[in-house]
Structure 1
Amino acid sequence: MKAAATHPATSLTPLRVAAFRRFVLANLVSTTGSAMAPLALAYAVIGQGGGAGSLGVVLATNSVPTIVFTVAGGVLADRLSRSRILFLGNLLSAAAQATLAVLVATHHATTVSIAACGFVSGIAVAFTAPAATGVVGQLVAAEHLQQANALVRLPNNAVKVLGPVVGGVIVAVGGPAWALSWDAFTFLVAALLLLGLRLDAPVTTASALADLRAGWAGFRARTWLWTYTAAGTVVVAAWLAGFQLLGPVVATEHYSGARSWGLVQGAFAFGLLAGTVVCLRWRPHRLLTVAVITGSGLCLPPAALGTGLDLPWVLLGAVLAGIGLDVAIVAWNTALQQHVPQAELGRLSSFNGVGERVAIPLGYLVTALAAHAWDDRTVLLVCAGAIAATTILNLCVRDVYRVNRVRACRDALDGAPGG
């Protein structure tokens, strides 16, 4: 990687780097549309006569390409300009959402056409996600990576609190086509902003297949990386099954239904935002240990729902889970960026991403099977127990305690001008 050509002056804090501000703004703009998209998509399917089955097909079609193509995206992220990949990915997403908006507005949308647009969007995500992980490290010095990762997530989490509400109003007043059009427009604006980054491409001499093999070897050689990925697959699967899938069902049966579940979702979103603020102030030394421990907070909401605690306790569990999850994400991204060379970051982050994305169908499938044997609350408790047990097992890996914050860069810069 041409570090000298793509890296800013290392003494600058993230928000003083113009390229980083551009990257954050692009993420913020696209998130304002993406936060509304799930609701608009659901009502687009319902509006053309589809039900739960049709929506399931659409969601599956969107998630499959992110599993299949993420590794390819990781290879390209280590071979091509990451800023160009992000530009093209956002442009592709804009085209897919614009096409979908036109189909819905003209009443020509079908389950097949909606799924096809979702498939294209899924491909875009598969190629942009690994590139985005590496871009932060190219724009910001190593000692500022945690702050940079938190700053990227701060406006995104704030939008996630308000986005679904605003999206609901837009869909109710104007229909899903307007929300989908806004999503397409935000992707286009983000693409134009990302076009201005102009990060250099790495110098590569090996073939793409050789790069893939080298990336897999590097992934396997780092015990902390593949064990965290394996643990994350279990944790994400249990979380999706215990919170996203069974949570609304239990809220309907034992609480006040949609109102209670809306409060729980809001509490979780507030926790994510609070977790980002924590990361702006707290700089733990043991990055990976913190990521593992704080991620275990995801067991709290399913445990509270499973044991039948009153709603205030469920809300508290959701807030704590949100705080823990965001701290875990920021700590993990910082550890990955500091301990994996830039030349390998796209591939290794893509292997980690595949593990977490596989958890989506895995969690739903296991829950569907378990629902035939146990009642919903028992399944919730099993999911909470799986998260806790996986955390304990991951903490038994010695390398977890060796992946700590890199301080050498800061020490070397103490005497530098502006450092």
Structure 2
Amino acid sequence: MKPKDSLGALSDRRFAWYFTARTVSTAGSVMVPVALAFAVLHIDQSAGALAQVLGVRTLTMVVFLLVGGVVADRFSRIVVLQVSHVLTCLTQACAAVLIISGHATLTQLTVIEGVNGAVSAFTMPAMMGIVPLVVDRGRLQQANALLSFSRSGLAVIGPAVAGLLVVGVGPGWALAVDAMTYAVAIVCLTRVGLPRRTGDASAPRHSMVRELREGWGEFSRREWLWVVVLAFGLTNAIHSGVIGVLGPLVAKSSTSIGEAGWGLVLSAEAVGTVLMTLVMLRLRLRHPLRAGMLAICVLAVPMVLLGVAPALVPVAVGFFLAGAAVEVFGVGWSTALHEHVPVGVLSRVSSYDALGSFVAIPVGTFLYGWLAAAVDLETLMLVSAAVYVLISLSALLSRSVRDLGRTVEEPPAPSPASRADVGASTGGAARS
């Protein structure tokens, strides 16, 4: 495959505009964690204050995730995404004004981030359901890799830019930039035309409870789906505890890593993700979940290195490999969902997927906070790495996971004469 053919998904104008909207909004979002953290710490220099703001955001997101999936399947996903972006733009602009003016309080930021968490519960299912509607099915893996490439690439430079803004003009201005990117993304989304849903106008509306049950039915009857989500519910608890809680603790106590080195380590992970994305643009995964679950075992490598060799270079290499592994799974998982789950229930199914993932994160955080005081850190990390690998490999005991294939073949590259007509020749009927 020629390099330019790896970008074939962008030849569809709808996906090109959607890709632009996602890239622009992500450019602002990747700066928020740094800006928000320093904004909160400027008001209250305690870990508890930051945990309060971030915890409320996660909580509201989890509470509304299933509702967000129903709404995204019931209404136009582009409209849902636009409304979500409008709300995020307004809340971030409000936070920016409060911080820049010096009138922000911890309570105000907590409420604002709580609203943002609830809004993101509608954003994520809508985004998952849009991709199959704006790109040819044969380009789904390529489209997911392109979206991941923009997200990962921005994750490398976004925090650094945010840090410069925080130091130079203050955290409020970084949040103002985030608000502006959402405003631009809203305009880009107006150029994305989704195919009309057949029969929607005359079909009776069911209750939200019934639609949730339908989504659960679609989720639970696919063994490959719930097996992987169950495995990740457990491994995410381990990962969030080891990397999120123990990692900074080990880094701070290590003379080789330190706080600055920990930032470099996380950047190395992002670089690994970006480089693997370039590979995924050209490499076709014939069994996406088999490849993904084998790759995700690599996340145990940085856990082991933090336990036995907490030095900057080996740990950075471990995180680089982990970032590449995450990309293999991420593209494979998104492609499997897009190809094997009906578009009409995709947002609801993805909301159950997200719920299974996010619920485990605070559990792991609190659990490892307690274990860190009761168990030797090296032993805890090595045992955690071993359990992580065992759980990941156990998912492959399911034949439906390891043998899940692709439903469509990748289309050949269009000839120069027909390349301009790609958008018109892949009409909505093929994706309905």
1:243 corresponds to 2:243: yes
SS at match of 2:74: coil
Q: Which amino acid aligns with 2:178?
A: D
1:77 corresponds to 2:72: yes
Give the superposed CA RMSD.
Answer: 1.9
Q: CA deviation at 1:152?
A: 0.9
1:337-376: per-residue Cα shift (whole Å, max 9, x none)? 0000101101111100101111221110111221232133
| Conservation of the 8 A alpha-carbon contact between 1:81 and 1:200 | no
| Conservation of the 8 A alpha-carbon contact between 2:304 and 2:382 | yes
Query: In the alignment, which residue of structure 1 is the partner of 2:4?
Result: none
Query: In the alignment, which residue of structure 2 is the partner of 1:225?
Result: 225
User: Partners in 1 of 2:268 and 2:306 — Cα distance?
Assistant: 14
User: Partners in 1 of 2:44 and 2:351 — Cα distance?
Assistant: 37
Query: In the alignment, which residue of structure 1 is the partner of 2:175?
Result: 180
Query: In the alignment, which residue of structure 2 is the partner of 1:133?
Result: 128
| Conservation of the 8 A alpha-carbon contact between 1:367 and 1:379 | no
Q: CA deviation at 1:333?
A: 0.1
The gaps in structure 1 that reach 5 residues or longer are 1-11
User: Partners in 1 of 2:381 and 2:118 — Cα distance?
Assistant: 32
Query: In the alignment, which residue of structure 2 is the partner of 1:269?
Result: 270
Write the mapping of 1:43-82 to structure 2, written as runs, cut at 5 A.
43-82=38-77
Q: Which amino acid aligns with 1:96?
A: T
Q: Which amino acid aligns with 1:231?
A: A
- Provide closer, same or farther for how the CA distance between residues 409 and 175 of structure 1 changes in structure 2, counting only shifts above 3 A: closer
User: Partners in 2 of 1:309 and 1:372 — Cα distance?
Assistant: 19
Decide which moves more: 278-287 or 246-255.
Answer: 246-255
1:161 corresponds to 2:161: no
Q: Which amino acid aligns with 2:332?
A: A
Query: In the alignment, which residue of structure 2 is the partner of 1:302?
Result: 303
Q: CA deviation at 1:50?
A: 4.0
Q: CA deviation at 1:292?
A: 1.1
Runs of 4+ more than 6 Å apart: none
Q: Which amino acid aligns with 2:52?
A: V
Q: CA deviation at 1:180?
A: 0.8
| Conservation of the 8 A alpha-carbon contact between 1:339 and 1:403 | no
Q: CA deviation at 1:194?
A: 1.3
Query: In the alignment, which residue of structure 2 is the partner of 1:196?
Result: 191
Q: CA deviation at 1:123?
A: 1.2
Q: CA deviation at 1:408?
A: 5.7
User: Partners in 1 of 2:382 and 2:170 — Cα distance?
Assistant: 39
User: Partners in 2 of 1:347 and 1:265 — Cα distance?
Assistant: 32
Q: CA deviation at 1:314?
A: 1.4
SS at match of 2:70: helix
Q: Which amino acid aligns with 1:307?
A: V
Query: In the alignment, which residue of structure 2 is the partner of 1:337?
Result: 338
Q: Which amino acid aligns with 1:346?
A: S
| Conservation of the 8 A alpha-carbon contact between 1:150 and 1:279 | yes
Q: Give the TM-score normalised by structure 1.
A: 0.93
User: Partners in 2 of 1:234 and 1:105 — Cα distance?
Assistant: 41
User: Partners in 2 of 1:311 and 1:118 — Cα distance?
Assistant: 34
Identity of aligned residues (%): 36
- Provide closer, same or farther for how the CA distance between residues 174 and 409 of structure 1 changes in structure 2, counting only shifts above 3 A: closer
Q: CA deviation at 1:261?
A: 1.0
User: Partners in 2 of 1:282 and 1:197 — Cα distance?
Assistant: 28
Q: CA deviation at 1:328?
A: 0.5
User: Partners in 2 of 1:17 and 1:198 — Cα distance?
Assistant: 11
User: Partners in 2 of 1:363 and 1:273 — Cα distance?
Assistant: 27
1:39 corresponds to 2:38: no
Query: In the alignment, which residue of structure 1 is the partner of 2:430?
Result: none
| Conservation of the 8 A alpha-carbon contact between 1:96 and 1:121 | yes
User: Partners in 2 of 1:351 and 1:382 — Cα distance?
Assistant: 29
Q: CA deviation at 1:206?
A: 4.0
Q: CA deviation at 1:201?
A: 6.0
Query: In the alignment, which residue of structure 2 is the partner of 1:3?
Result: none
Q: CA deviation at 1:164?
A: 0.6
User: Partners in 2 of 1:224 and 1:362 — Cα distance?
Assistant: 24
1:72-104: per-residue Cα shift (whole Å, max 9, x none)? 111111111001111111111111101111111
Decide which moves more: 204-213 or 226-235.
Answer: 204-213
| Conservation of the 8 A alpha-carbon contact between 2:229 and 2:353 | yes
Q: Which amino acid aligns with 1:177?
A: G
Q: CA deviation at 1:380?
A: 2.0
1:191-218: per-residue Cα shift (whole Å, max 9, x none)? 2211332425642534132211111111
| Conservation of the 8 A alpha-carbon contact between 2:246 and 2:372 | no
1:124 corresponds to 2:140: no
Query: In the alignment, which residue of structure 2 is the partner of 1:107?
Result: 102
| Conservation of the 8 A alpha-carbon contact between 1:250 and 1:377 | no
User: Partners in 2 of 1:86 and 1:401 — Cα distance?
Assistant: 34
Q: Which amino acid aligns with 2:347?
A: G
SS at match of 1:371: helix
Q: How many residues align?
A: 405
1:405 corresponds to 2:406: yes
Q: Give the TM-score normalised by structure 2.
A: 0.90
Query: In the alignment, which residue of structure 1 is the partner of 2:323?
Result: 322
1:368 corresponds to 2:369: yes
- Provide closer, same or farther for how the CA distance between residues 330 and 181 of structure 1 changes in structure 2, counting only shifts above 3 A: same
SS at match of 1:281: coil
User: Partners in 1 of 2:116 and 2:196 — Cα distance?
Assistant: 24
| Conservation of the 8 A alpha-carbon contact between 2:139 and 2:410 | no
Decide which moves more: 44-53 or 134-143.
Answer: 44-53
User: Partners in 2 of 1:310 and 1:126 — Cα distance?
Assistant: 38
| Conservation of the 8 A alpha-carbon contact between 1:84 and 1:198 | no
